[in-house]
Amino acid sequence: MDREISRLIKKETKRQNEGIELIASENYASKDVRDACASILTNKYAEGYPGKRYYGGCEYIDKIETLAQERCKKLFGCKYANVQPHSGSQANAAAYKALLPDGGKILSLVLNDGGHLTHGSPVSFSSHLYNFVFYPLTNGYLNYTDILEVAQKEKPDVILAGYSAYPYEIDFELLGKIAKKVKARFMVDMAHIAGLIAAGCHMSPFPYADIVTSTTHKTLRGPRGGIILTNDEELYKKINSAVFPYYQGGPLEHIIAAKAICFKEANTKEFKLYIKHVIRNTRACQEELVKLGAKTTGTDTHLFLLNTLDSFGLTGLDAQKKLEEIGITANKNMIPGDTLKPNKTSGLRIGLAAVTTRGCTLEEAKSIAQIIYGYLSGNMTTVAAKNGVKSITKFWKKIEKIS
């Protein structure tokens, strides 16, 4: 392989193996998933959908994409699946296109409170094409009474749920009822919690949502990409034309093959057990931090927020940089009600999905909390913290070996 790229991949492999990865949106895909991503399927153009392509030679590609669709539908218990979106952001763009006209109104959670860029941020296409209004959180929690009140006042076309930094379970049934009450469509972006939903450890958005979007690379542990699901045939037709030809060209069939593998892997007892461990480890890490004196949100999921400003007098940015010095990767994140800007923030988002894939135990999840607390509070030296990280990761599966 190209020498320069090969050298950099080796360095990144070492970083991933030796570090503790706490970015809540990351995970380690299996070797089978990675092999499909690197396969010769990348050579093939296949604009269109199975049986209706704009190119010849799609006999096997059609079978692969159909298999991905079937496995995806089975995993999430829905009737229709588009597995072509190149990313979660493109899935959301196509879902909006299918659900409402340009300029239509979407009621969502603002980025600062845990929503995603594509949920109406001024720096995203979403706020330029649609009129976004937002529901507030109460003490960091969704407040369904408030959401109903805002929905009745705003009369949106779409109510959007599913977030990037919300640590608690979401009541999709209740939100679906609110949407019905105000005659809005209900969309769920389950990107973060797709793995939890697949494993039956979080309420499913079906049968309450009109459209569900997701990424496949977070808790679902697949390749980097997106999907769009629905039970509504008319919406499915609109979703298909919104993905291709409106927003995308040729589908990434190597990634679609990897998605098919990921859907099969996620439909196993082992995956359910994995997600249970993720939730247990996340809670153990969060509770240990609180026990040591830190301020955090609670958690029902794979993530929680650590208030670094109140706990250690550090901005999220400074805490992120400090942890990186010792081989722990986490990302700065706004805390609900944050007074600091998004490029500084008052906290960190911490997720245990990736480390659990490598075999992190409950005791190790607590040790991670002790290193974070010790180092950020200044009570642990850099050498001691680095040794702590090393002594944990040396027992974990090498990322190349994850099957």
Q: Catalytic amino acids?
A: 45, 47, 189, 215, 218, 224
Residue 89 interacts with ligand PLP (CB under 6 A): yes or no: yes
Which lies closer to ligand PLP via its Cβ, residue 115 or residue 388? 115
Count of residues in contact with ligand PLP, rule CB under 6 A = 15
**Nearest approach, Cβ of 89 to ligand PLP (angstroms)?**
3
DSSP H helices in 44-193:
59-76, 88-99, 125-129, 144-154, 172-181
Which lies closer to ligand PLP via its Cβ, residue 263 or residue 375? 263
Q: Are 284 and 97 in contact (CB under 8 A)?
A: no
User: 332-351 burial string, b = 16+ CB within 10 Å, else e?
Assistant: bbbbbebebeeeebbbbbbb
**Nearest approach, Cβ of 11 to ligand PLP (angstroms)?**
23
Angle at 119 between CA 124 and CA 196, to 5 degrees: 130
Q: Are 313 and 307 in contact (CB under 8 A)?
A: no
Considering only CA atoms, which of 218, 248, 214, 226 is closest in space to residue 45?
248
Residue 121 interacts with ligand PLP (CB under 6 A): yes or no: no
Q: Chain centroid to CA 90: how far?
A: 14
First to last CA, the chain: 24
Q: Are 134 and 107 in contact (CB under 8 A)?
A: yes
**What character string, x for contact with ligand PLP (CB under 6 A) and - otherwise, covers 367-386?**
--------------------
Which lies closer to ligand PLP via its Cβ, residue 172 or residue 396? 172
Residue 192 interacts with ligand PLP (CB under 6 A): yes or no: yes
Query: Out of 82, 124, 215, 282, which residue is the one contacting ligand PLP (CB under 6 A)?
Result: 215
Query: Out of 16, 25, 69, 331, which residue is the one contacting ligand PLP (CB under 6 A)?
Result: 25
Which lies closer to ligand PLP via its Cβ, residue 117 or residue 133? 117
**Nearest approach, Cβ of 346 to ligand PLP (angstroms)?**
20
Q: Based on the number of CB atoms within 10 Å of its own CB, is 139 exposed (0-12), middle (13-18) or buried (19 or more)?
A: exposed
Residue 134 interacts with ligand PLP (CB under 6 A): yes or no: no
Beta strands at 48-49 and 331-333: parallel, antiparallel or unpaired: unpaired
Residue 84 interacts with ligand PLP (CB under 6 A): yes or no: no
Residue 88 interacts with ligand PLP (CB under 6 A): yes or no: yes
Determine the Cα–Cα distance for residues 103 and 93; give it in Å rounded to an integer.
13
Determine the Cα–Cα distance for residues 81 and 97; give it in Å rounded to an integer.
16
Which lies closer to ligand PLP via its Cβ, residue 41 or residue 93? 93
User: 306-320 burial string, b = 16+ CB within 10 Å, else e?
Assistant: bbbbebbebbbbbbb
Determine the Cα–Cα distance for residues 51 and 59; give it in Å rounded to an integer.
9
Which lies closer to ligand PLP via its Cβ, residue 95 or residue 372? 95
Which residues in 330-369 contact ligand PLP (CB under 6 A)?
none
Which residues in 148-187 contact ligand PLP (CB under 6 A)?
162-164
Residue 221 interacts with ligand PLP (CB under 6 A): yes or no: no
Which lies closer to ligand PLP via its Cβ, residue 205 or residue 226? 226
**Nearest approach, Cβ of 213 to ligand PLP (angstroms)?**
7
Residue 265 interacts with ligand PLP (CB under 6 A): yes or no: no
Residue 189 interacts with ligand PLP (CB under 6 A): yes or no: yes
Name the strand (E) or helix (H) holding 276.
Answer: helix 269-292
Residue nearest to ligand PLP (CB): 88
The β-bridge partners of 138 are 141
**Nearest approach, Cβ of 312 to ligand PLP (angstroms)?**
26
**Nearest approach, Cβ of 165 to ligand PLP (angstroms)?**
8
Task: Supply 78's token pair.
Answer: 């829905």
Which lies closer to ligand PLP via its Cβ, residue 114 or residue 156? 114
Q: Which range binds ligand PLP by CB under 6 A, 45-53, 82-90, 196-204, 340-348?
A: 82-90
Number of neighbouring beta carbons within 10 Å of residue 207: 11
**Nearest approach, Cβ of 272 to ligand PLP (angstroms)?**
22
**Nearest approach, Cβ of 100 to ligand PLP (angstroms)?**
18
Q: Are 61 and 46 in contact (CB under 8 A)?
A: yes
By the criterion CB under 6 A, which residues form the site for ligand PLP? 25, 87-89, 92, 116, 118, 162-164, 189, 191-192, 215, 226
